[in-house]
Amino acid sequence: MSDKSVASVQTIGRASTVLKALSEGPSGGMRLSDVAESVGLGKTTVARLLKALIDVGYVELDAGGRHYRLGYCLFKLGNAARRFHIIDLARPGIARLAALTGDTVFLSLRDGNQALCVDRQTGAFPIRTLTLSVGDRRPLGVGAGSLALLAFEPDAEVGRILAASREERQAFSAFSDDALLGMIDRARAAGFSFNDGRIVSAMNALGVPVLDRDSRVVAALSIAAIRERMAAPRQEELVAQLKAEAVDLGRMLDARRGTAVPVCA
């Protein structure tokens, strides 16, 4: 191996230790001196590594310019890596829900400030609500599954997402900031999201978050049907069925995470 190759490998190794230190540090971020002390490198070296990681979006500085924290680009990489096994793990449960209810069931994942539909199963009821196809995207909060992904995020993250998606949501007049904040409050109180015909007037939908062991939202399950099939007490039955599958999926994801080989030693 050439001297240049050795230096490149060393740089990658050092960068990974910096990322690991930030992942284990406080949520508000770490100062340069704290990072340097944690990884056992000089401030100049760490500052150079941090700048390179900022340039590629793996690290970001807070508004005050003093605290470093993991960037959203790194989250997207991790989310993309786990997307495939989430689909595989969720598919049997989605199929069960579609067969049991006769309606259309969706699996959605967060992708930046959008919700991405990654799987769909249709039930046997003759009137099908196919408002989303696999690969379709909507701003977070628009639709039941999308709202379930948004509503159970921390308040600060909800505020950031609403501000960032405001222009995109103009195409969905029923999902203004005020309307979404009200829907978020109701979803948190009830434990599920509800779209009462705000996209297609004759169609209603319910959504629940899939949470990991740290209570972070990793996915959403939702079910859509014509309005008449969402009336009480059937709505309560659908919510219970969605929640049961969401809990099972969360447990499977946690088990998979527990047996995975860690990225950083």
Residue 36 in domain: yes
* pTM of the model as a whole: 0.68
Number of domains in the chain: 2
Q: How many helices (H) and strands (E) does the chain have?
A: 8, 8
User: Can you give the CATH number for the domain in which 91 is found?
Assistant: 3.30.450.40
Read off the tokens for 236.
Answer: 């309560």
Domain boundary at 70, 90, 112, which? 70
Is pLDDT of 176 > 50?
A: yes
Q: How far apart are the first and last CA of the chain?
A: 23
Which DSSP helix (H) or strand (E) runs through 163?
helix 155-165
Per-residue pLDDT tens for 128-168?
887 888 889 999 999 999 999 999 999 999 999 999 999 99
Tokens of 77: 């990489």
Whether residue 265 lies inside any domain: the answer is: no
Q: Are residues 164 and 247 in the same domain?
A: yes
pLDDT at 37: 92
Check whether residue 174 and residue 231 sit in a common domain. Answer: yes
Paired with 207 in beta bridges are: 193, 222
Can you tell me whether residue 14 is helix, strand or coil? Answer: helix
Rounded to whole angstroms, how far apart are CA atoms 37 and 30? Answer: 11
Is the domain of 37 the same as that of 153?
no
Last residue of one domain, picked from the residues 17, 41, 70: 70
pLDDT at 12: 84
Domain that holds residue 118: 74-259
> Is there a domain that residue 194 lies in?
yes
Over residues 194-247, the pLDDT tens digits come to: 999 999 989 999 999 999 888 999 999 999 999 999 999 999 999 999 999 999
Residue 29 is part of a domain; what is its CATH number? 1.10.10.10
| 61 in the same domain as 152 | no
